[in-house]
Amino acid sequence: MWAHEAWAMGLMFVVDSLNKSFHTESGTIDVIDNLSFSVEEGQFLCIVGPSGCGKTTLLKIMCGLETPTSGNVLINGVLPNPQKQKFGVIFQEESLLPWRTVIQNVEFGQEICSGRCSLDIARKYMSLVGLVGFENYYPHQISGGMKKRVAIARALAVDPDIIMMDEPFADLDAQTRWILQKELLSVWSQLKKTVIFITHNVEEAVFLGQFVAVLTKRPATLKSLIKIDLPYPRSRLTPPFISYREKIIGMLQQEIPSI
């Protein structure tokens, strides 16, 4: 009922009363519990939550790679299906194909999506993420930050309806992370895509997101959906920024068992 109302209002992405449990040899594990939220077209949503709470599982359900136990994820009223909607996904354990050059890795996303690829499109996104000149390098010849850029270019080159990123900058040094955050915002403002971005880093979430969804510990449910009412570009040093950051950190601390 709720999902249909949201769709009628022009919302794009609806997570409605979602539950997910895994049944394994060692028993059942409940991972997502009655989770509901929605994302409008073109919105930048960050998702934060304690480690192991179910963020990656949620992302997989949202792009149709995992099925819910009950409840729904609907994109413009239909179930997610990688054959129908175009997702530009950057997974947590992102890896480039080592035997392909950088530009061939960017083309790879298009090949998977449509069976075809265009060198011009691959070059366009290589340029957008600042990798001109490195087209013919192999992954082992570029830095960690550049590998993330290739992954972003590969996700963008499919002209996705939705970009989903699972802790894409987690293992980068702070400086490279800041540069890539700014570049991602610049790409987002140019392309106006819907972005769903999972991170452990609260400062990153407040810097990037129009909204931050705070999840509880496993089984994940929505603790709070916070609108970050700050204009872009944001400064990490202003009192309102710090206040959002502290508020979200406080919420996450409530979810960590005391030791």
Ligand X SMILES: Nc1ncnc2c1ncn2[C@@H]1O[C@H](COP(=O)(O)OP(=O)(O)OP(=O)(O)O)[C@@H](O)[C@H]1O
Residue at 141: amino acid letter = Q
With contact defined as beta carbons under 8 Å apart, do 41 and 192 qualify? no
Among Mg ion, ligand X, none, the one that 57 touches (CB under a kind-dependent 5 to 8 A) is ligand X
Regarding 56 and contact with Mg ion (CB under 5 A), the answer is: yes
**Closer residue to ligand X, CB minimum distance, 142 or 170:** 170
**Closer residue to ligand X, CB minimum distance, 63 or 158:** 63
Among Mg ion, ligand X, none, the one that 219 touches (CB under a kind-dependent 5 to 8 A) is none
**Closer residue to ligand X, CB minimum distance, 93 or 120:** 93
Among Mg ion, ligand X, none, the one that 175 touches (CB under a kind-dependent 5 to 8 A) is none
Question: From the CB of 121, what's the least distance to ligand X, in Å?
Answer: 31
Name the site residues for ligand X (rule: CB under 6 A).
22, 24, 29, 31, 49, 51-57, 92, 218
Q: Which residues of 66-75 are buried (b: 16+ CB within 10 A; e: fewer)?
A: bebeebbbbb
Among ligand X, Mg ion, none, the one that 52 touches (CB under a kind-dependent 5 to 8 A) is ligand X
Q: How far is CA 187 from CA 44, 94, 99, 201, in A?
A: 12, 20, 28, 20
**Closer residue to ligand X, CB minimum distance, 193 or 218:** 218
**What is the chain's Cα-based Rg?**
18
Closest residue to Mg ion in the complex (CB)? 56
Question: From the CB of 122, what's the least distance to ligand X, in Å?
Answer: 29
- Number of alpha helices (DSSP H) and beta strands (DSSP E) in the chain: 8, 9
The contacts of residue 148 (CB under 8 Å, 6+ apart) are 90, 94, 168, 169, 172, 180
